[in-house]
């Protein structure tokens, strides 16, 4: 593994999941692996789970972790090649990234999309420019279109649940990704990423459900069954992954905030007593009801706690990969 930006960087998902669960069982077993090494966590946007779980993971591998809130504390960065920098940007990524690459053995970056210009967001210019100029491995802490640490965590959580509570009938679990209402347009990253990871994993019957107008990019969803009928999708589901996203086609727009799409205990009756997942943060009683989040079917806290093991498996893989 050279970088960790998308599922394409992973040669064997199940091996990475196994590695993560081994760290969960014995967090400090590779405490010497990162000795005398430093990891830099650069945030151009806010975070709670990603920031702290990645720091914890790095420290459990013996690394020193340094967080830099670029958006608040750094110079305003320019990413465009050949830019005439007579506006608000002060430093080009071409100059900043190689310097950061000298300070750190691994660089991690969070950069959200603008949701204004689809071509620009989907080109992943910000994270690509860091990879081009840093000269050290780069881990995505959520980019314009993907959130791979979250998706790896989601598969870890599903596998962990299935290891402890195998499905009665055996066979593949039915996993449903459902759109949920929200008060403002959100990126498609978590949903794109969940879709590409579940499709690449290949060990589930995968259904995506959303109102008309919320189709995700086909390159991520190809292989999944897609329906606008949430009730039909939920039938016999084993896992329901809840997430809001804004439109991909009418880019960044909200077509509907139809509150009837919020998951409730009544809706859960149609499922196979499905476990409910969400990446957090979640707007209670808008995206997901209190009764689900506080009820026995919610996996959200376990899922968020598993972020540590996902990050630890990825950092350790990068530390041991040939340069």
Detail the residues annotated as belonging to a binding site: 47-50, 75, 110, 142, 147-150, 182, 243, 279-280, 283, 307
DSSP 200: H
H-run or E-run covering 101: helix 93-103
Residue with the shortest CB distance to ligand CP? 50
* Partners of residue 205 on adjacent β-strands: 174
Cα radius of gyration rounded to whole Å, the chain: 20
Binding mask 172-201 toward ligand CP (x if CB under 6 A, else -) reads: ------------------------------
Q: Which is nearer to ligand CP, 53 or 316 (CB)?
A: 53
DSSP 77: E
Residue 300 vs residues 41, 55, 146, 182, 240: alpha-carbon distances, Å: 24, 20, 20, 18, 11
Of 114-173, binders to ligand CP (CB under 6 A) are 142, 150
Letter string b/e over residues 195-214, b meaning 16 or more CB atoms within 10 A of that residue's CB:
bbbbbebeebbbbbbbeebb
Please give the annotated binding residues for N(2)-succinyl-L-ornithine, written as ranges.
Answer: 142, 182, 243, 283
Binding mask 228-267 toward ligand CP (x if CB under 6 A, else -) reads: ----------------------------------------
Question: For 260-263, which contacts have Cβ atoms below 8 Å and span 24 or more sequence positions?
Answer: 261/178, 261/179, 261/180, 261/181, 261/211, 261/230, 262/180, 262/181, 262/286, 262/287, 262/288, 262/289, 263/178, 263/180, 263/288, 263/289, 263/292
Cβ-contact 193, 150 below 8 angstroms: yes
Minimal distance, residue 55 CB to ligand CP, in Å: 11
Residue written as token pair 């806290």: 301
Binding mask 47-76 toward ligand CP (x if CB under 6 A, else -) reads: xxxxx-------------------------
Closest CA to 299 of 255, 211, 238: 238
Minimal distance, residue 99 CB to ligand CP, in Å: 25
For ligand CP, the binding residue among 108, 279, 311, 319 (CB under 6 A) is: 279
Q: Which is nearer to ligand CP, 57 or 234 (CB)?
A: 57
Q: Which is nearer to ligand CP, 30 or 142 (CB)?
A: 142
Per CB under 6 A, the segment of 89-97, 123-131, 231-239, 275-283 that binds ligand CP is 275-283
Binding mask 8-47 toward ligand CP (x if CB under 6 A, else -) reads: ---------------------------------------x
Binding mask 197-226 toward ligand CP (x if CB under 6 A, else -) reads: ------------------------------
Q: Which is nearer to ligand CP, 152 or 204 (CB)?
A: 152
Q: How many CB atoms are closer than 10 A to CB 7?
A: 21
Instruction: Report how far residue 316's alpha carbon sits from residue 297's, in angstroms, rounded to the nearest whole number.
Output: 32
- Contacts with ligand CP by CB under 6 A lie at 47-51, 142, 150, 279-281
């Amino acid at each position: 593994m050279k970088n960790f930006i998308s599922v394409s960087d992973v040669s064997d998902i199940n091996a990475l999941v196994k590695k993560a669960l081994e760290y969960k069982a014995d967090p400090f077993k590779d405490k010497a692996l990162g000795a005398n090494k430093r990891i830099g966590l650069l945030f151009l946007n806010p975070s709670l789970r990603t920031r702290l779980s990645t720091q914890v993971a790095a420290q459990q591998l013996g690394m020193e972790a340094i967080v830099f809130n670029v958006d608040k504390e750094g110079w305003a960065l320019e990413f465009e090649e050949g830019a005439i920098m007579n506006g608000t940007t002060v430093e080009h990524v071409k100059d900043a990234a190689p310097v950061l690459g000298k300070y750190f053995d691994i660089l991690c970056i969070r950069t959200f999309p603008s949701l204004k210009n689809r071509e620009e967001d989907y080109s992943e210019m910000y994270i690509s420019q860091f990879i081009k100029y840093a000269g050290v491995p780069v881990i995505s802490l959520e980019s314009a279109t993907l959130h791979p640490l979250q998706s790896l965590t989601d598969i870890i959580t599903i596998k962990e649940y299935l290891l402890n509570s195998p499905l009665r009938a055996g066979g593949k679990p039915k996993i449903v990704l459902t759109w949920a209402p929200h008060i403002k347009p959100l990126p498609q990253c978590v949903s794109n990423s969940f879709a590409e990871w579940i499709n690449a994993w290949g060990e589930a019957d995968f259904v995506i459900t959303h109102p008309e107008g919320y189709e995700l990019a086909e390159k991520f969803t190809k292989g999944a069954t897609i329906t606008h009928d949430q009730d039909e999708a939920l039938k016999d589901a084993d896992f329901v992954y809840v997430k809001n996203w804004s439109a991909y086609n009418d880019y960044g727009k909200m077509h509907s905030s139809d509150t009837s799409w919020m998951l409730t205990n009544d809706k859960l009756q149609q499922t196979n007593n499905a476990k409910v997942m969400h990446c957090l943060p979640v707007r209670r009683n808008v995206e997901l009801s209190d009764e689900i989040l506080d009820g026995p079917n919610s996996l959200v806290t376990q899922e968020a706690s598993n972020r540590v093991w996902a990050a630890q498996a990825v950092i350790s893989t990068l530390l041991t990969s040939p340069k």
